[in-house]
């Protein structure tokens, strides 16, 4: 009996030790990705023309074309559901977005009481996209890399220019196209093809919706598929010198219509030059 208890205690200790090393390793990995995004070059005005709707949006947001930021760092409180019709689960997140080049890292945590349940990294860093989900912050349960991940994460970067208006003027990789009086497309050309999203404006010159066609995702069985994606802007606020969409929800368009899977609010917003 004593021997069995000792063996049990040793096993528990080893499991906890492995968990701790995996937890710290994942945090270190996230820190390295963040450092790479944060070391991006400052924004530089592109020689290519920018549509008036976009330049006016950036100006109304508070962007000074002669003093562009290098990165944006923000925090969010949000809710997310992993399955259609599932329960909304609260989470907190932080995100860093680069201005002079295409890159970001989003880190989210979800708790059950005092216990960490999930830690997520969603990123596009040095030309590569990735999604990593860890149960308890240590146990890998989902991962997404490769060409589809690259496309999906670049789409996310483009859509989230709404939170980095400096990059609208300062990222030379962006290519703009005016589609209609209230509709602007922006794209980045990857080695595997064009990636683009569309901004829809209201009569006041505010972006009210962002859409992307054929964004890579997975179905309920984990099989990769393409679905149209929508971001709906609920409210704008001025936070630390930038007027930005502070409340948004995002979702996919299914055969029977649109359904949101994430909704959240920007809590803090900082610019670094």
Q: Is 91 exposed, middle or buried (0-12, 13-18, 19+ CB in 10 A)?
A: buried
Q: Which of 180, 139, 161 is nearest to 26 (CA)?
A: 139
Domain extent at residue 141 = 2-272
- Cβ neighbours, 10 Å, residue 137: 18
In order of 130, 164, 188, 239, the CA distances from 38 in angstroms are 17, 14, 20, 20
Six-digit token pair at 91? 């989470």
Return d(Cα 128, Cα 103) in angstroms, integer. 9
Q: Residue 2: which pLDDT band, with cuts at 50, 70 and 90?
A: low
Secondary structure (DSSP) of 160-192: GGGG-HHHHHH-TT-EEEEEETTEEEEEEEETT
SS3 (DSSP) at 117: strand
pLDDT digits (tens, 9 = 90+) for 175-204: 999 999 999 999 999 887 889 999 999 999
Q: Which helix (H) or strand (E) holds 246?
A: strand 242-254
Rounded-to-integer distance, Cα 149 and Cα 194, Å: 14
Choose among 253, 254, 234, 252: nearest CA to 244.
Answer: 234
Q: How confident is the model at residue 138 (pLDDT cuts 50, 70, 90)?
A: low
Residue-level length of the chain:
273
Stretch 105-124: mean pLDDT: 87
Higher pLDDT, 99 or 110: 99
pTM summary value = 0.90
156: tokens are: 């996310």
State how many domains the chain has.
1
Checking if the pLDDT of 96 tops 50, the result is yes
Residue 164 confidence (pLDDT): 97
Q: How far apart, in whole angstroms, are the C-alpha atoms of residue 245 and residue 233? A: 6
Q: Give 7-27 pLDDT, tens digit per residue.
A: 445 554 444 545 465 556 667
Averaged over 54-65, what is the pLDDT? 96
Please indicate whether residue 113 or residue 105 has the higher confidence score (pLDDT): 105
Determine contact, residues 122/32, Cβ cutoff 8 Å.
no
Check residue 19 and give its pLDDT.
Answer: 45
- For the record, the structure tokens of 184 come out as 């602007």
pLDDT at 48: 78
Q: Does residue 138 sit in helix, strand or coil?
A: coil
Q: For residue 107, what are its two tokens?
A: 């880190």
More confident residue, 49 or 60: 60
pLDDT digit string, tens, across residues 215-272 = 988 776 667 788 999 999 999 999 999 999 999 999 999 989 999 999 999 999 999 9
Domain CATH number, residue 93: 2.50.20
């Amino acid at each position: 009996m004593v021997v069995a208890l000792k063996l049990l205690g040793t096993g528990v200790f080893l499991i906890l030790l492995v968990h701790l090393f995996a937890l710290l390793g994942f945090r270190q990995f996230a820190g390295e990705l963040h450092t790479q995004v944060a070391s991006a070059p400052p924004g530089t005005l592109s020689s290519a023309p920018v549509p008036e709707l976009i330049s006016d949006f950036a100006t109304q947001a508070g962007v000074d074309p002669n003093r562009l930021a290098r990165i944006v760092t923000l925090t969010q409180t949000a809710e997310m559901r992993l399955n259609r019709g599932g329960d909304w689960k609260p989470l907190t997140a932080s995100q860093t977005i680069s201005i002079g080049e295409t890159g970001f890292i989003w880190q989210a945590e979800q708790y059950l009481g005092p216990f960490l349940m999930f830690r997520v990294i969603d990123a596009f860093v040095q030309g590569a996209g990735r999604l990593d989900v860890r149960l308890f912050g240590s146990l890998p349960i989902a991962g997404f890399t490769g060409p589809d991940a690259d496309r999906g994460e670049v789409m996310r970067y483009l859509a989230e220019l709404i939170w980095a208006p400096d990059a609208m003027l300062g990222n030379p990789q962006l290519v703009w196209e005016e589609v209609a009086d209230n509709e602007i497309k922006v794209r980045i050309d990857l080695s595997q093809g064009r990636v683009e999203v569309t901004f829809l404006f209201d009569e006041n010159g505010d972006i009210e919706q962002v859409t992307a066609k054929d964004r890579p995702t997975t179905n309920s069985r984990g099989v990769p598929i393409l679905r149209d994606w929508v971001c709906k802007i609920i409210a704008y606020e001025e936070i630390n010198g930038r007027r930005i969409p502070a409340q948004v929800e995002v979702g996919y368009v299914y055969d029977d219509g649109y359904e949101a899977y994430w909704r959240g609010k920007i809590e803090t917003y900082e610019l670094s030059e």
